[in-house]
Structure 1
Amino acid sequence: MTARFAGRTVIVTGAASGIGRAAAQLFAQDGARVVCADVSEEVAATAAAIGEAASPLRVDAGHEADVVRMVDHAIAWTGRLDVMVANAGISGGLATIFDTDVALFTEVLRVNLLGPFLAIKHAAPRVAEAGGGAIVLTASVAGLRSGAGSPAYSASKAGVINLAQVAAQQLSGSNVRVNAICPGLTETGMTRPTFDYAREVGKADRLGRLNPLRRGGQPEELAEVVTFLASDAASYVNGQAIVVDGGLSSSHPITRQEYGKTTV
């Protein structure tokens, strides 16, 4: 089977853990050379696990000079850039609107929304120069409606969805596609404390119980969708927000009848 990304160069931000790490590994398995970027020093472990097809880089995805350096690094390393995955993000905690200070709200927007904006701004021209390719942004089901994240996180992810749509339009004629994924509850570096705590207290079965699959997602499941959107198989998919949440967002909240049981 031909490797989908043979001869192509990919940047993945947030590659130190979770969806970013899984995506970087899958791109490399499919023939890509991958710049593994993250603010955490753990990104070196991701690159080491991949081998010669990976180049680790410490960057702050919400800092413009770092994003420029990251794109320049990819070009200097391989001479081209074909795919940009803007995946880095932070949660912002669980505070309400009234308990969230401006500094926290601003920081969440800086990383989660300014980061993808900068990725598009500086990566898209280089992807276009290579003949076209793809940009994939990590949004969230929290960006679709309330109930899945803090106010700052939810607002930032709603912005990412709209940014994908706007960018797809403004890149008309460039052969650069821009899409977003909207994960539901997934076991990542950001959510690991929740998963670990649930296991410790014997309540792991309650994670993801509100979606029809009755479980949380794994990073590899999201990585499959990221790489699909970046591949030629998705050549006519553009400006979309693809939800990957086990069916959570397919319904308004209800009291569900258990499978195989009769309601009296």
Structure 2
Amino acid sequence: MARFTDKSIIVTGAGSGIGRAAAILFAAEGGRVIVADKTDGADETVALIAAAGGTAKAIRMDAGSEPDVIATVDLAVAEFGGLDILFANAGISGGMANIFDTTPELIAEVLRVNLIGPLLAIKHGAPKIAERGRGAIVLTASVAGIRSGAGSPAYSASKAGVINLAAVAAQQLSGSNVRVNALCPGLTETGMTKPTFDYAREAGKMDRVGRLNPLRRGAQAEELARAALFLASDDASYVNGQALAVDGGLSSSHPVTRQEFGKTAV
């Protein structure tokens, strides 16, 4: 299967986790990938792609910085002649503070990266994709953006915004043949969640990871990456403005241990 032969593709947050897995899969299916990340992980991802015979180029970028986003889009155009697909995946967790411990500075930073970042990706990427006649943008949201129980207030609010942004962008790109959809991961083993998974392994409690979803396990990054590739591909040619939950069934009910005001959850 080579759904992305000669396609010019940007993946942000591609230095690890879902972004790295997606960049590798895009390249394996013939895509030419700009691997964008704040860290040296971008170079490592490019090395993995090159070792497998794929084409990729790394760039350091802050997803919430407009100059960095512009530079990343410009690089795709310069290196690969245009832009066909943009996977705006970069994000931060913002920790697990509750509403009463969340500072304005914390939520501002989470929104800058998690929500303004995807908006900038659409703002500067969509016109270039439209020039090609068709293409796709995939935004990484989260089941935390669907309803409560899967993330902190700052993170959840940012991802709810991403889900709405995908719908608004799909409408505002009407007639362009540029589709915009949001991917909503459940608990997935990535750099962001590594401490949770590492603790569970060390404590012999892996059976408790993801136990609230019907599949009773967490996801691997490649499982989410494959869903992102679906949304970016012609296999999803009539999917637009949607939020796809890939969470083992968690969001079918979002069962949680509830915390009462002023009390500790038990």
Q: Same fold (TM over 0.5)?
A: yes
Checking the alignment, whether the CA contact within 8 Å between 2:6 and 2:31 is kept in structure 1 is yes
The secondary structure found in structure 2 opposite 1:134 is: strand
Q: Equivalent residue for 1:146?
A: 148
Q: Structure 1 CA distance, aligned partners of 2:255 and 2:192?
A: 25
Matches within 5 A, 1:137-216: 137-216=139-218
**Alignment counterpart, residue 243 of structure 1, candidates 242, 245, 248:** 245
Give the letter for the 1:30 counterpart.
E
**What per-residue deviation string (whole Å, max 9, x for no partner) do you get for residues 97-126 of structure 1?**
110111111000000000000000000000
Percentage of identical aligned residues: 72
After TM superposition, what 4+ stretches of structure 1 lie above 6 angstroms from structure 2? none
Residue in structure 2 matched with residue 26 of structure 1 by the alignment: 25
* Structure 2 segments unaligned to the other structure (5+ residues): 258-266
Amino acid at match of 1:207: V
Offset, 1:176: 0.0
Mapped contact 2:142–2:184 kept (Cα < 8 A): yes
Mapped to 1, the partners of 2:150 and 2:255 lie a distance apart of 12
Q: d(CA) in 2 for partners of 1:117 and 1:44?
A: 25
What secondary structure is seen at the aligned counterpart in 2 of 1:7? coil
Deviation of residue 253 (structure 1)? 2.6
RMSD, matched Cα? 1.1
Q: How many residues align?
A: 254
Aligned mates of 2:4, 2:147 — CA distance in 1: 34
Measure, in 2, the Cα distance between the counterparts of 1:253 and 1:156: 21
Look up the match of 1:260. Answer: none
Partner letter of residue 14 of structure 2? A
1:75 is matched with which residue: 51, 72, 77? 77
**Alignment check: 8 A CA contact 2:149 2:254 kept:** no
Alignment of 1:20-169 (within 5 A): 20-51=19-50, 53-169=55-171
Which residues of structure 1 form unaligned runs of 5+? Answer: 256-264
Query: CA, structure 1 residues 252+61, in 2 after alignment: closer, same or farther (shift >3 Å)?
Result: closer
* 1:254 CA displacement: 8.2
